[in-house]
Structure 1
Amino acid sequence: MKFAVSLSMERFSPQDSMAEAMANMLALARLADAGGFETLWTSEHHTIECTIAPNPFTILTWLAQHTERLRLGTATIVAPYWSPIRLAGEAALCDHLTGGRLEFGIARGAYQYEFDRMAGGMPQQEGVAYMKELVPAVQKLWAGDYAHDGHYWQFPLATAVPKPRQQPHPPIWVAARDPGTFDWAVGIGASILSTPLAAPPAEVAVLGEKFRKAVADHPGRRPRFMMQRRTCVYDRPDEWEVAVRHSLDHGRTFENLFQNIGTVTNGFPEAVPFETVANRANYDPASVRANLMFGTPDEVIEKLQLYEDQGVDQYCLGLSFNLPFALQQKTLRLFIDEVIPHFEARARDRSRAPRLAAAGR
């Protein structure tokens, strides 16, 4: 199992400066690059200060100038906000500007608050239909001349300019939780981005079964499987309260934007009252501590075993939930120093075992 990190530029108060948000993200990206993380993912969002990312391709191009090995991914592009020609060209140019390190992640979108401003108020659940038309069109534009006459977009013969640096194109990842999206994504040759959100660990197994079913139904496909959770690693077991408190507060901000039930003032969403949130059981502090990837290095290693058992190829640390910057840094350093080496050693042992068996040892 490899490891990735999901980062956003965050401002939760007008007193938080944009310069500091940029500096924090860059420092974490450099730390992840030097520490052996496989991929850095960043999202697309609009009009929201707690996730500053109007164009993730711009952010990834910037980070590419300051990193050497990290793969750089969009997690995720929001399908209804784009046209096929624009998306094909922007992604391909980013692939060149990042030295061929782009990972192309796409989703239907999540925040109804954004859809009311960016997609004419359509229900965010309808975004999946846009995605299913958009991605194949982008693939064809990357390949050469292509004319499109679809439900949402129509255009005469055109092609992506430039073509991607990676051939035939950057790896495609689709955000999925329902079986239909798993099946469609694997069927078009995409890999899977998923998350159990704040659900109990049993949800990891549920998502793992959906992935295995989709792969079994499409013989010959070899997709990868990434799963993301909010993550915080600390030295002592009794240090969990800070992570849980920030997770609970950020969750109430998410509920505001997802359900469109709160106010947003000059880009800053309020954290809605606990009485208005959905799935209140997910806001119990003990459940949050147990369900999310919070713990000491030893506790985190134990929790991660479930993900590896379910076939997760890449576990992604979700660090952007207004966690104090110093704690984000500590999380990455403890992961680099104590968690990643554990899984690297296990991988070496597994690869060595067949060779030793063949040699009769």
Structure 2
Amino acid sequence: MNLGFFTMPIHPLDKDWQLSLREDREAFLLADELGFTEAYVGEHVTDKAENITSCIAFIAWIAAATKQIRLGTGTINMPNTHPATVAASMAMLDHMLDGRLIFGISPGGLLSDAELFGNLDANRNEMFLESINQVLDIWAGEPPYNFQGKYWNISTQKTLIKDIGQGFIARPLQRPHP
């Protein structure tokens, strides 16, 4: 039997943030030590109780301290971040984890996050679909990139300098992708 671990850590509102983060980190390290095969962490920018604001940053913090466990974003709320940022950050994280990354995504469900990022009244499911398709297109494509969408445009056509690597977005280690 394989065991997995998922957390959207909920802490008392008055608890010290550094202590909460250290305890959350220790839970992941213990799961790795106990032989769990995978672990996921959620993210919310505007929730004091669920106080991991970036699952990418959190996973990067614990990446080198884990040995075997696959770590997953649970989830990247796609409408709240530019797809090129997601593609580049996830590619880097996949390399940092030597291919142990699981890429979990969603349209996001916390309305205060949606309001913060200006998409409260938008069709977040439509944004989600456009975003993940653009991430996958970046990973499958070659520069110069030129993706036009309803919500995001991605281009390096005017600024690509192939000889020195400018205008290139990294690909993840896993093929075709995490």
Give the Cα–Cα distance (whole angstroms) in 1 for the partners of residues 62 and 168 of structure 2: 24
Amino acid paired to 1:143: A
Other structure's SS at 2:72 match = strand
Per the alignment, residue 18 of structure 1 pairs with: 17
Alignment of 1:40-79 (within 5 A): 40-79=39-78
Q: Find the aligned partners of 2:8 and 2:168 in 1 and give their Cα distance.
A: 28
**Residues in 1 aligned to 2:140 and 2:104: alpha-carbon distance in whole angstroms:** 18
Identity %: 27
SS at match of 1:47: coil
User: Partners of 2:2 and 2:40 in 1: how far apart?
Assistant: 14
CA distance, structure 1, for counterparts of residue 56 and residue 119 of structure 2: 24
Long gaps (5+) in structure 1? 171-361
Greater Cα radius of gyration, structure 1 or 2:
1
TM-score (norm 1): 0.43
What is the identity, as a one-letter code, of the residue corresponding to 1:130? Answer: M
Does the Cα contact within 8 Å between 1:61 and 1:94 map onto a contact in 2?
Answer: yes
SS of the aligned residue for 1:73 comes to strand
Q: Which runs of 5+ in 2 are unaligned?
A: 158-166
Distance of 2:127 and 2:175 partners within structure 1: 25
Specify whether residues 156 and 13 from structure 1 end up closer, same or farther in structure 2 by C-alpha distance, changes over 3 A only. Answer: closer
Q: Classify the secondary structure of the residue corresponding to 1:40.
A: strand
1:18–1:31 distance in 2 versus 1, CA, 3 Å: same
Q: Is the partner of 2:68 in helix, strand or coil?
A: coil
- Asked whether 1:143 is paired with 2:151, we answer no
Taking only aligned residues, the RMSD between alpha carbons, in angstroms, comes to 1.9
Alignment of 1:145-294 (within 5 A): 145=142, 146-157=145-156, 161-170=169-178
Q: How many residues align?
A: 167
Cα deviation digits, residues 306-348 of structure 1 (max 9, x gap): xxxxxxxxxxxxxxxxxxxxxxxxxxxxxxxxxxxxxxxxxxx
Once the two structures are TM-superposed, the CA of residue 165 in structure 1 deviates from its matched residue by 1.4
Report if the CA contact (8 A) 2:107-2:125 is conserved: yes
Distance 1:71 1:30, change over 3 A: same
Runs of 4+ in structure 1 displaced over 4 angstroms?
157-160
1:131 aligned onto 2:128 = yes
Cα gap change, 1:160 to 1:38, in 2 (>3 Å): farther
Which residue matches 1:87?
Answer: 86
Whole-Å separation in 2 of the counterparts to 1:69 and 1:138: 27
Q: Aligned partners of 1:152 and 1:22: how far apart in 2?
A: 33
Mapped partners of 1:66, 1:10: distance in 2:
23
Q: Which is richer in helix?
A: 1
SS of the residue 2:108 aligns to = coil
Deviations 1:14-62 (A, max 9, x none): 2x11232122112211221122211110112112111122221110111
Tell me the alpha carbon deviations over residues 160-181 of structure 1, each in whole angstroms, 9 at most, x when there is no partner.
63221112211xxxxxxxxxxx
Partner of 1:358: none
Instruction: Name the CA shift for 1:7/1:169 in 2 (closer, same or farther; >3 Å).
Output: same
User: How far apart in 1 are the matches of 2:124 and 2:168?
Assistant: 23
Q: 2:160 is matched with which residue?
A: none
Task: Look up the SS of the partner of 1:163 in the other structure.
Answer: coil
Query: By how many angstroms is 1:76 displaced?
Result: 0.5
